[in-house]
Amino acid sequence: MSSSNSKTTPAKIIRSTSEFAAYVGLARTTVSRVLNGQPGLKKKTIDRVQRAIEETGFVPNAYALHLKGKRPATVGVCMQNIAFPPLVQKLASLHRKLRERDVTTFIEIVEGGDSTSIIRHFLSLRVDAVVFMGYFDEDRVAQHLRGLSTNGTPSLVIDHFGIKGANTIYLDRARGMAALTNHLLDHGHRRFGLLGYSETFRSTFERERGIREALAARGFSFEESTMNLDHKHDRGRDFEYGRALAHSFIESKRLPTAFIALNDEIAIGAMHGLKERGLGVPGDVSVTGFNNQDICLMTAPSLTSVDQRVDATIDVAVDHLLEHIGQPLRQRTSVRMIEPLLVVRESTGPARLK
């Protein structure tokens, strides 16, 4: 089956204003003026060009326009990957909000590729700013940031905390974990199992600090209150990992009254692991996740988690970008913290009394 190419379709495909002007039967200059909505044109001329546009589907060459200075504001977004739902949400939100401000977003995904060539590509496209989103190799990013800086291009790092000289917007994970810890303390929990906290490539350190400080504020010692059995397992799929960790805790005979998991998947795995061994959530053990993904609602019991507040984060990002686009590079770097939101659900409750 082929598409029907009927009468109105011109034989020739038009790719430049000269060709287009010839097709319309007007001067190149005149056509250009119509295209740019300049005054002093007869209605009839405008209509003629308009009609020809519809017939031919002609669109001026963006590359030539760019050279003439008619370029939309553009931002290059460098994503580490797009396998992680909260990251994809941020990307979608950023893209949408920038479009509302007439900023074009170029998206590139590193994921096994060469981030250096991506940055070069953005630079060759003369983007007005570069955004990094995801968990990168810190040295690599720091190096890119230096390159961008000497190039005069503003940059922004979302959610990767602690890169030197980086404009950063960062979810205050410490604060989120402190809120979570306080919630559990309020329920009488005193012994906590940490699930997945020996990870190094994620921003685990900040999270641990939050737990530590919340415990200290109530007079508890982190070392005495928490347990970690991560070393017993190779990190695999999060869900299976959480399940195996729960089993290990049960077998260790030192089962805490609450599990604090690195993310929702591990938490859900742990809930399964507990259930398989006849333990109830939150009756026997309370369980918490992180990220507040949709699946938190799909488990029984539903999962207490910490929300990343994607929209708030991206609002701040967009404001930052708009402020810096087209401006000379500031020498001061800015670091903005976003406060996460604790979402309490059914998986957390009063600590079981021994």
Partner DNA sequence: CTGAAAGCGCTTACAG
Q: Which residues bind DNA (CB under 7 A)?
A: 15-18, 20, 25-30, 32-33, 35-36, 38, 40-42, 44-45, 60-61, 64-65, 67-70
CA distance linking residue 52 with residue 61, whole number of Å: 17
Q: Does 96 bind a copy of itself (CB under 8 A)?
A: yes
- Of 47 and 251, which CB lies nearer to DNA in the complex structure? 47
CB of 66 to DNA, least distance (A): 8
CA distance linking residue 75 with residue 154, whole number of Å: 10
Counting residues that bind a copy of itself (by CB under 8 A) gives 71
* Dihedral (Cα; 206, 210, 212, 217), 10-degree rounding: 150
CB of 125 to a copy of itself, least distance (A): 5
Question: Residue 99 is which amino acid?
Answer: R
Peptide bond preceding 60 in cis form (omega within 30 of 0): no
- Of 54 and 276, which CB lies nearer to DNA in the complex structure? 54
Q: How far is CA 176 from CA 121, 181, 269, 347, in A?
A: 37, 9, 22, 17
Q: Which two tokens stand for residue 130?
A: 């570069």
- Of 111 and 186, which CB lies nearer to a copy of itself in the complex structure? 111
- Of 20 and 290, which CB lies nearer to DNA in the complex structure? 20
83 secondary structure, DSSP code: -
CB of 31 to DNA, least distance (A): 7
b/e burial code for range 149-174 (CB count within 10 A of at least 16 → b): eeeebbbbbbbbbebeebbbbbbbbb
- Of 9 and 61, which CB lies nearer to DNA in the complex structure? 61
CB of 321 to a copy of itself, least distance (A): 17
| Residues numbered 119-138 forming contacts with a copy of itself, rule: CB under 8 A | 120-121, 123-126
**Binding residue (CB under 8 A) for a copy of itself from 81, 203, 228, 248:** 81
242 secondary structure, DSSP code: H
Residue 30 binding target from DNA, a copy of itself, none, CB below 5 to 8 Å by type: DNA
CB 19 within 8 A of CB 12: yes
Residue 35 binding target from a copy of itself, DNA, none, CB below 5 to 8 Å by type: DNA
CB of 141 to DNA, least distance (A): 25
Residue 343 binding target from DNA, a copy of itself, none, CB below 5 to 8 Å by type: none
- Of 60 and 188, which CB lies nearer to DNA in the complex structure? 60
CA distance linking residue 256 with residue 240, whole number of Å: 20
Q: Which two tokens stand for residue 177?
A: 């974990």
Question: Residue 261 is which amino acid?
Answer: A
